[in-house]
Amino acid sequence: MSKSKRERTDYPGVYGTPHPTRKHGIRADLYIEITYRLDGKKKWEGLGWTSQNMTPLKASKILHDLKEAHRTGKGLRTVAEQREVAAAEAKEREVAKQQAERDATTFQEFWTDCYLPLQGEKSARSRATEASLWKLWIAPQLAEISLLKLVPFHLEKVKQEMIRAGKSPKTIKYAMGVVSQVWGLALRDGYVSAPFPGLQVKLPQKDNQRQRFLTPAEAMLLLKVLAERSPTSHDMAVISLFSGMRFGEIASLEWQDIDFPDGRILIRDTKTSQNRYVFLTSEITKVLRNRHSGQRSGLIFTSRTGGKVDRISKAYSRTADDLFNEGVADSRQRVCFHTLRHTYASWLVQKGVDLYSVKELMGHADFKMTTRYSHLAPEGLRRKAKVLEGSLEEKAEVWTGVLKGSC
């Protein structure tokens, strides 16, 4: 505002500039300013309007405090500095308030507000499984516990309840994995800072590795029935059986991933987060050629709505049950889609393929996952073990000759 419009007030160093139109009560609204000398120079600072609860008396007190700071060398010397400090303090209070709210966040609140909204990329089946585990086992024990107060004891309660209900070690491990994912997100976003308490909870162990794989005759029968019931399921099964690809990897395949001239398929965004190649066999090539009509892009397999196939078809599950699963209670012995991947690896080992090559073809992140197939090559192992046969006899003959020569 123009200096010419400033008017002195009853307080030294305090001025008011009337607003040309706006009233405060029956008088014009005044913009209050103070003036003082700072480092030998005259300085003006605006404090606010009387309609904003600023008065000449308040301004006079502020001016007095500033002059006292100038005289003693203690305290803030300008209104601008005071405002900066006030803003910083307000920000600190807001940060402290937000942190206090985070510290009080319960597992239920974080699950609903932070975790669930980020799970859209998971398959519908995975989301349904997590929702069921949350409702039945996790929420009853953890929902009202604040994240900061979560300790191994709470997770032990989840585990014990699931054990009492007869849940399998695999299901219990899955539930703990969900809690671990929630904790990881909370750790990333600053709600917690400690390692996951579940690391101190010993989970029940059971060998859940699938033992069942198909013989060539069984595989032929399965493919024959699938071809009649569901051509799409048949084609996906052929690809898995002759490449070891997981269902999700096959469902994600696009035409640009297929290199017919080079005989390779690029698998992107795998379970181990590493791209890899598998190789076209005549069986896979035939399936893909039959489905190919010149496309250069787009999904190879699509759902009825044209989107990505997000679950194993009922036709496949019914066929596997009809042919192989009647009366089979042990999940390790039941035939499912993953049995095709297991069959691929088993056949490779039976044909004499070394385990390292099997690991690379399967895309295993850990060699331990591959060694489970070593028992399928007993003859090869037996032959390798026998290379030492007769070693002691050979040594005995050598030593006998040495002793005779020394006599």
pLDDT of residue 231: 95
- The helix/strand/coil state of 248 is helix
Are residues 90 and 231 located together in one domain of the fold? no
Is 388 within a domain?
Answer: no
Is 21 within a domain?
Answer: yes
Host H or E run for residue 28: strand 27-38
Is 254 within a domain?
Answer: yes
Q: Write the pLDDT tens digit of every residue in 223-281.
A: 999 999 999 999 999 999 999 999 999 999 999 999 999 999 999 877 666 788 899 99
Are residues 189 and 299 located together in one domain of the fold? no
* Confidence (pTM): 0.52
Query: By the 8 A CB rule, do 35 and 60 touch?
Result: no
The alpha-helical segments, DSSP class H, found in 17-151 are: 56-72, 79-103, 107-110, 124-133, 139-142
Strands 41-49 and 258-259: unpaired
Are residues 361 and 230 located together in one domain of the fold? yes
Are residues 82 and 187 located together in one domain of the fold? no
Query: By the 8 A CB rule, do 147 and 110 touch?
Result: yes
Host H or E run for residue 47: strand 41-49
pLDDT of residue 324: 94
Q: Which domain holds residue 74?
A: 3-97
Is 164 within a domain?
Answer: yes
Is 220 within a domain?
Answer: yes
pLDDT of residue 363: 82
Q: What mean pLDDT do residues 314-320 have?
A: 95
**Count of alpha carbons within 13 angstroms of residue 125, beta-carbon side:** 6
Are residues 232 and 182 located together in one domain of the fold? no
Q: What mean pLDDT do residues 282-299 have?
A: 92
Q: What is the CATH number of the domain that holds 233?
A: 1.10.443.10
Is 406 within a domain?
Answer: no
Q: What mean pLDDT do residues 181-189 have?
A: 94
Is 209 within a domain?
Answer: no
Res 120 pLDDT > 70: yes
Decide: residue 114, CB within 10 A, 0-12 exposed, 13-18 middle, 19+ buried: middle
Is 102 within a domain?
Answer: no
Are residues 239 and 346 located together in one domain of the fold? yes
How many independent structural domains does the chain possess? Answer: 3
**Stated length of the chain:** 407
Looking at per-residue pLDDT, the higher value among 229 and 4 belongs to 229
